[in-house]
Amino acid sequence: MGGSAGDVWHASSVAVSGRGLLILGASGSGKSSLALQMMALGALLVADDRTVLTLRDGAVWLSSPPTIRGRIEARGIGILNAQSAPDTVLHAVIDLGQVENNRLPPERSITLLGCSFPLLHGSASPNFPAGVMQFLRAGRAEGP
């Protein structure tokens, strides 16, 4: 995984309504699968498996290395062409290496390149991709 601005991170990323999501996880953890599920629900691919993070104007931007732009791996099918999003501002992070066990998890955050972002843990729930889509579109409700 990368650690500084302009580094290539071992992560996939998508954009929903112009809001970027960085999907972290070890090889085989489901980064591409989650991205594909979200793309089926309307997300655009930023990058699959390798995402460039750049600090610009106080925001963290996501982009794809040129050699893989517009391509995503689908296990058992191969490398697929995909509509790709332009560089996108990061709004949230999912860590598939962490499993969410709480029905209503606490708010978590992660700091990347000096900026703080909401952090979600992975979930095997079938509605997880749809929930993440709605989270990116409208945020999380406060209170009970």
- The residue range of the domain holding 48 is 7-94+111-138
Q: In this structure, is residue 132 part of a structural domain?
A: yes
Burial call 93-103: b when 16+ CB within 10 Å, e when fewer: bbbbeeebeee
Is residue 127 in a domain? yes
Domain presence at residue 122 = yes
Comparing CA positions, the residue from 67, 61, 72, 63 lying closest to residue 35 is 72
User: Into how many domains does the chain fold?
Assistant: 1
- Provide the residue type at 43 as one letter: A
Residue 104: inside a domain = no
In whole angstroms, give the CA distance from residue 25 to residue 55. 21
Is residue 25 one of the residues assigned to a domain? yes
The pLDDT tens digits of the residues spanning 75-132 come to 999 999 999 999 999 999 999 999 999 999 999 999 999 999 999 999 999 999 999 9
Q: Are 34 and 94 in contact (CB under 8 A)?
A: yes
SS3 67: helix
Query: What CATH number is associated with residue 115?
Result: 3.40.50.300
Residue in the block written with tokens 């062409």? 81
CA 36 from centre of chain: 11
Q: Considering the domain boundaries, does residue 126 fall inside one?
A: yes
What is the arithmetic mean of pLDDT over 51-65?
A: 96
Question: If phi over 0 gives left and psi between -120 and 50 gives alpha, with beta otherwise, what is residue 37?
Answer: alpha
144 lies in a domain?
Answer: no
Mean pLDDT for the chain? Answer: 93
Q: If phi over 0 gives left and psi between -120 and 50 gives alpha, with beta otherwise, what is residue 36? A: alpha
Query: Would residue 64 count as lying in a domain?
Result: yes
Check residue 142 and give its pLDDT: 78
What is the pLDDT, as a whole number, of residue 3?
A: 53
